[in-house]
């Protein structure tokens, strides 16, 4: 769990990428993890057209925090389609589990939480997030408590401090990530 206060960019980067020796994202290049536990990586260059598409998607959410979360969902779906051909993940399924761990075309929750956090950091660096800040990914479940371990990207609403998970692992290729309050997400299996 992360502390209740908002993490800064440096803390998010250290917590998200150092364990996996993955370079943090920039507005021009990010490293996408896939194939379970970030075993495979692909560099994805973001073009001017990509940045324009992201700006258009996020501009639609500028009116409120709720609208921005909807726009983040659309941006997450766009990003999944954008990286699919580079990573060979166009056929990835929702909730890929242990039986898929040797399938390089799948994401586990480690991969998807890192990739989503990368996208969120890029959006933040481009100044496209108006109502939310990027947080350190969180995990739930310990196996000993009967719940499988699961990790998700997190944002916090600037006005209220409410934290939200942005979880693409629960969705199939090209679908918007599941976005819900962190408190609710922590209660799920």
List alpha helices for 5-150, DSSP H.
9-17, 48-59, 65-87, 109-125
* Average pLDDT of span 9-16: 92
| Domain spans, the chain | 9-185
pLDDT interval class at 6 (50, 70, 90):
low
| 64, 68, 74, 77: CA torsion to nearest 10 | -160
Nearest residue to 102 via CA among 152, 39, 33: 39
Position 144 scores a pLDDT of: 66
Position 147 scores a pLDDT of: 77
Tens-place pLDDT, residues 151-178: 999 999 999 999 999 999 999 999 999 9
- Global pTM reads 0.94
* Average pLDDT of span 123-135: 98
């Amino acid at each position: 769990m992360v502390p209740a206060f908002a993490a800064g960019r440096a803390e998010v980067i250290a917590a998200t990428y150092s364990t996996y020796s993955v370079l943090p994202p920039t507005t021009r290049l990010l490293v996408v993890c896939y194939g379970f536990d970030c075993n495979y990586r692909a560099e994805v260059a973001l073009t001017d057209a990509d940045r324009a598409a992201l700006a258009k998607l996020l501009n639609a959410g500028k009116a409120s925090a709720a609208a921005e979360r909807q726009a983040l969902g659309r941006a997450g779906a766009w990003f999944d389609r954008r990286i699919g051909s580079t990573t060979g993940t166009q056929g990835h399924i929702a909730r890929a589990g242990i039986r898929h761990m040797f399938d390089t075309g799948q994401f586990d929750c480690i991969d998807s939480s890192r990739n989503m956090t990368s996208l969120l950091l890029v959006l933040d660096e481009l100044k496209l997030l108006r109502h939310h800040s990027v947080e350190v990914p969180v995990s739930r479940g310990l196996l000993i408590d009967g719940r499988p371990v699961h990790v998700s990207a997190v944002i916090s609403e600037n006005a209220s401090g409410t934290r939200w998970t942005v979880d693409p692992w629960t969705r199939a290729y090209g679908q918007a990530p599941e976005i819900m309050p962190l408190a609710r997400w922590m209660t799920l299996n």
